Amino acid sequence: MPGPPPAKSSAFCKTCHISICVLCLSEKQNAHEIGELSEKVDTLSDIIAKENEQLQSLQSDMEKILVHINRRSAELPLASKQTKNNVTSHIRGKASETLQSFKRPTDNLTQEAEDEISLFPKALYVPSVLTTLDAQFPTSKENNNRLYSIVPLGDGRVWVGGHSDILKLFYQERLIATVNKKSIGLFLTLHEGHIVYPDTDKTLKKVINGKIDTLFSTGEWIPDGITCTAARDFLVCLRSTDDSQSKVVRYSSSGDVLQEIQYDSLHQPLFKWAIYVVEDCNGDICVVDWNKNAVTVVDKFGIFRYSYTGNKASKFKPCSLTKDSMHRIITTDFLYHKIHMLDRDGRFLRYIIPDQGIQRPRAVCVIREGELMVGECITGMIKRIKYLA
């Protein structure tokens, strides 16, 4: 005759971590903690559901990264061609500069000028102011500042931000458009032909045809200087709300964090207060550190390359910076009324000081080969300066 059907497991031994049936509840197991099997099943179901949710989230993040990698990969042939052209242009430019240096007289030079000539043959050319524009921003009662930022559109038009909630668009020294926003125009960049700026609500906003759209939030971190990269990502200078930490973060255009740059190889902070950032043609990330009085440069992987703290023993207070087509870094010296030019490895090349002088330079941008636009923070004047012959 067939035996009795096997007993169903309806309990769970919490001591042995196994399921048991009621027949197993003998005296020798009285010392073990027994619970209902359904409770253990519910617990395991919850764990599995949470792990599945985490896997789904990870899959979504990986898909975003994959899309970004595919887009960057598709741009590699164009980037390679651009790099080749830049190298060719750089070699030709250096050859031209060397030839020009033999054509200029070197009599009656100061010691300072001789030092510059040894590094940069065109140092004898005295920069000149081509045009001057009063952006007519009001003066800050706190620090007398007026003008903060300039962004060229590449066709003679420039966006200008100052101590006002109005952004101004100029064309050949003539005001042609304005945009009202809720914060002053401290930091600006250009993305796909449209102005982008950090707002006081810790977001990045974009102006399209006069309408302001929010791109993404920077969370608990306060955004300062921003720039758009060759890959159309954003590099954003961020600081903590208590000003104790500072970093540079690379965001995709939709706000995904692609890279964080905060520490060196010894896990020491790279920045005290990063306020301006630009990307060089070779991918280097150049940052003005306001509290360190330095320009700090890392490579595209965030690895420290060098820090520039001024020419020789002179004092230095960098404020903003840009770069030209020859990979030279140009940074304004806010307190000491100078503009410094460095080579791609951080070596000082020369000062850019026009014949009329420059006062408290802050905003700076290259508008064409050999020409800058520089904004004087206190006077509110914008000077177009020819710095190469």
- pLDDT tens string 135-182: 999 999 999 999 999 999 988 899 999 999 999 999 988 999 999 998
Q: If you ran DSSP here, which 8-state letter would residue 4 be given?
A: P
Rounded to 5 degrees, φ, ψ at 29 are -105, 5
pLDDT of residue 113: 43
Considering only CA atoms, which of 161, 231, 172 is closest in space to residue 198? 161
What's the chain's average pLDDT? 83
> pLDDT tens across 6-42, in order?
555 566 676 666 666 655 555 445 556 666 666 766 7
Considering only CA atoms, which of 341, 343, 312, 314 is closest in space to residue 127? 341
**Domain definitions of the chain by residue range:** 125-386
**Looking at domain 125-386, which of 1.10.10.10, 2.120.10.30, 3.30.499.10, 3.40.50.720 is its CATH number?**
2.120.10.30
| Residue that wins the pLDDT comparison between 105 and 149 | 149
Cα separation, 101 vs 120, whole angstroms: 9
pLDDT of residue 108: 41
| Residue that wins the pLDDT comparison between 238 and 77 | 238
What whole-number percentage of the chain has pLDDT above 70? Answer: 74
Cα separation, 276 vs 246, whole angstroms: 12
Rounded to 5 degrees, φ, ψ at 98 are -65, -45
Angle at 24 between CA 22 and CA 27, to 5 degrees: 110
- pTM for this predicted structure: 0.70
pLDDT of residue 12: 63
pLDDT of residue 9: 58
